[in-house]
Chain A
């Protein structure tokens, strides 16, 4: 069993898990579901998931496997590159029932991974962990299997990061009540980035000043700051002002053209409504 498996999870999957947990039936404490994605050379990339209804009793567990197959088929029609790579569960530990479910999933795919998201917030954090099942035991004796933790990291497509950043604003701002965050205009986004850049620069300056005055400083941080200062492209004054002026002129021209077109359209509309046949 190759234990150098690493799991990469997309944010969508985690959103889905949390949502499924919030919508669980009143009598369940745990929710489980299937993980979909691709598996390549020991790297398992999980891009999608869905919830599977199940019930857990004291000594047995029932999961609606037909449901799981149906939803998997439906999903394949939209995205034929995603296949079953494992399963997920909420909670912070692996129970006996997990091995039963894991056995079922090992029939569906070659090397299923098991991901848990700790929605019960044990220890004050929502831990994300992944496991594979490793057989152990004595040959010709009792055999069993053990869940071994593997590395799990987060990976995103470019637009997903953007979406995540917008959602992050709800954490600080609109958390109270039902007020949310509007996806601001482009200019507002650049403005907020500029202000955060300003505060970061302030911090760096303070640190550098403190270090110059004699406070204990880290050599690594000093080297990084030096690299930062040198990474600004060294353009001669004329080159820069030329490039700057031409870019600004281009953009202003395009803006004028766009506004002109809009005005002309509106004028045309008014005239069409006015003229009588």
Chain B
């Protein structure tokens, strides 16, 4: 705990204080268990808090606990404080370093996530959000990723201003909303001894599910979500185009009105009448509100993540297919001999 008071917390905000996240096997297994149980019973996301400490340039996660589902009867703050107090009694690190969430096909980017992570990161500087992909892990590939908001994203959220000019000033796009922090898993020596005992107790055949060739179901799910997001992005693009057309038309109307005014004034001056009072052009033609760019940015970020995941998934499916081809060729060679 003394190391916390050291340089890590006094570092200026634009310095990358966390370079990687170190997770204890215990926290990993607890996250897996909780997210798996939630996905079996209902389709809501599972969320929980991460506990640990900050050491030099890494964030250590030593334990975690799940949150109950949104329940109006009991306050969530109270539950958290209660839980942390109890854990402190058994000497568990009680420094709240972040939170985790399960995601169906890795689609975690949403406004609520941005909001929560913003609040976390402003109160606790080094906090991360860990996303666990349920579908892919069930197929055999453990997918745990840690993300942090970039400083530009924090500035943007603080302003609350999502017009295109503001975003251009901050030079922020969907690519630099989040940065991914690599996760490393570490176990204490005693835990390693326990794991070696466990390996003898598990039968060999289990845990080879990731070699399964039937990849269609996961790929289907991913592609479907991708299509939905692309549709959304399309809608947003249409909205923005419509806005731009309105602005252009408004400019034209304004121009025409000014010309008409000038003509009328000239006519009146020719007849020696008082010119019409100057009216504020802007009050007549109220400027249209600029549609906020936050949603399209989030959707674009999601689409980006999907494409990445799909490429990764396809690459390993291709590898498996080539493996089977090699085996088949060997078999045929043997048969022909």
Contact = CB atoms under 8 A, between A and B. Distances in A.
A248 B196 CA distance: 39
Contact of B314 (A24, A170, A251, A272): A251
Interface in A128-165: 128, 153-154, 156-165
Contacts of A193: 208, 210-211
18 contacts: A21-B190, A71-B86, A74-B82, A78-B34, A78-B69, A157-B36, A162-B32, A163-B137, A170-B187, A180-B184, A187-B312, A187-B319, A189-B140, A189-B316, A235-B328, A244-B328, A252-B318, A272-B293
Can you list the 5 inter-chain pairs with the closest CB atoms, starting with the nearest?
A180-B186, A180-B184, A186-B316, A258-B307, A161-B207
Contact of B186 (A154, A162, A170): A170
B190 A22 contact: yes
Contact of A189 (B91, B197, B210): B210
Nearest to A177: B186
Contact of A167 (B35, B90, B187, B316): B187
B13 to A, nearest CB: 24
- Tell me the interface secondary structure of chain B in the complex: helix
Interface in A162-211: 162-168, 170-171, 174-175, 178-183, 185-187, 189-191, 193-194
Interface string A215-255: 00000000000000000100101001000100110011011
Interface string B145-171: 000000000000000000011001001
A121 interface: yes
A254 B309 CA distance: 11
Nearest to B328: A240
Given A162-B137, A261-B303, A186 B312 contact: yes
A273 B17 CA distance: 29
Interface in B179-197: 182-197
B30 interface: yes
B195 A171 contact: yes
B184 A265 contact: no
Contacts of A237: 332
B54 to A, nearest CB: 14
- Tell me the interface secondary structure of chain A in the complex: helix
B22 to A, nearest CB: 6
Given A161-B207, A162-B141, A180 B185 contact: yes
B288 to A, nearest CB: 12
Contacts of A94: none
Nearest to A24: B91
Contacts of B211: 190, 193
Interface stretch (A7-15, A95-103, A106-114): A7-15
A247 B314 CA distance: 11
B43 interface: no
Contact of A159 (B92, B137, B190): B137
A60 interface: no
B205 to A, nearest CB: 11
A189 B195 contact: no
A51 interface: yes
Nearest to A169: B185
B328 to A, nearest CB: 5
Contacts of A51: 90
Nearest to A82: B37
